[in-house]
Structure 1
Amino acid sequence: MAGRSGNTEGKFTAEERAAMKQRAAELREEGKGGKAAEKKEREAQACRDAIAALTGSDRAIAEKLHAIVTEVAPQLEPKTWYGFPSYARDGKVVVFYQSAAKFKTRYGTIGFSEDAMLDDGVFWPAAYAVLEVTSAVEKELRGLVKRAAG
């Protein structure tokens, strides 16, 4: 994440430090005891809360991604990752939404981790800039999420 906001000094920005603190809190939360079902519900609620905290187009995009994942890949488990709404398979994040507001960029991104099953030869996209989810974008996302989920 370093350097995403134009930082050329090699130091983390305040936004990047905040994201790392969020990730540390997520890891502490994951380490809490309790039944597996309770843990999954806490993580799902954290994902819903992360989406609800977004505004404008970031929120609309995250809500649409959530609806798509819920419909085409219900086996993926909602959670947060660096404070981002994300969806995991076997505990590993497969797809996530990174808001534009978080790092003050002009667009949010829908990203896929190395655990997403999107490999296509020796070169393929792992993140997509998204300004809005049109019907064409939604159709593409449905296919990507379904493939990524495996």
Structure 2
Amino acid sequence: MPARADKDADNLAAVLEKIPQMFGEESATGQRLHDIIMAAAPALKPRLWYGMPGYALGRSKPVLVFIRRDDYVTFGLTEKANLPLDAGAPDKLIPNAWFLKAELDAATEARVAEIVRAAVG
């Protein structure tokens, strides 16, 4: 296996190992978010980013999407993601992070996938 594939596999393994450590009793939610992100944008390469799962279009590319757990599970986008201002927005704020207070439902999963696809552009 080429070195690049080895590094990608190592990065994926590190993310998959980190999810249960970071998310604890919410590890099923963390794993599901990882799965949704990867299904929505298969070109993303997971890696640890500041100790949390991050997703970029390549190993040397900036992270676009991340997940973490503090008091709540957080799903977010970095400033490097495709974050256009909504045309009809009444202000100049662009949403880039969301807390999850409960288990994922179908509507939330669909919205996460939609956000990831938009972030990747």
Match of 2:25 among 56, 81, 86: 56
Match of 2:81 among 116, 119, 137: 116
**Identical pairs, percent:** 32
Contact 1:88 1:94 in 2 (8 A): yes
Pairs within 5 Å for 1:1-150: 35-53=3-21, 54-57=23-26, 59-90=27-58, 91-100=61-70, 105=71, 107-121=72-86, 122-131=92-101, 132-150=103-121
Taking only aligned residues, the RMSD between alpha carbons, in angstroms, comes to 1.6
> Which runs of structure 1 show a deviation greater than 3 angstroms over 4 or more consecutive aligned residues?
none
Bigger radius of gyration among the two: 1
TM-score where L is the length of structure 2: 0.82
Contact 2:37 2:112 in 1 (8 A): no
For 1:65 and 1:124, locate their aligned partners in 2 and report how far apart those are by CA, in whole Å. 21
How many pairs are equivalent? 111
For 2:36 and 2:95, locate their aligned partners in 1 and report how far apart those are by CA, in whole Å. 19
TM-score where L is the length of structure 1: 0.68
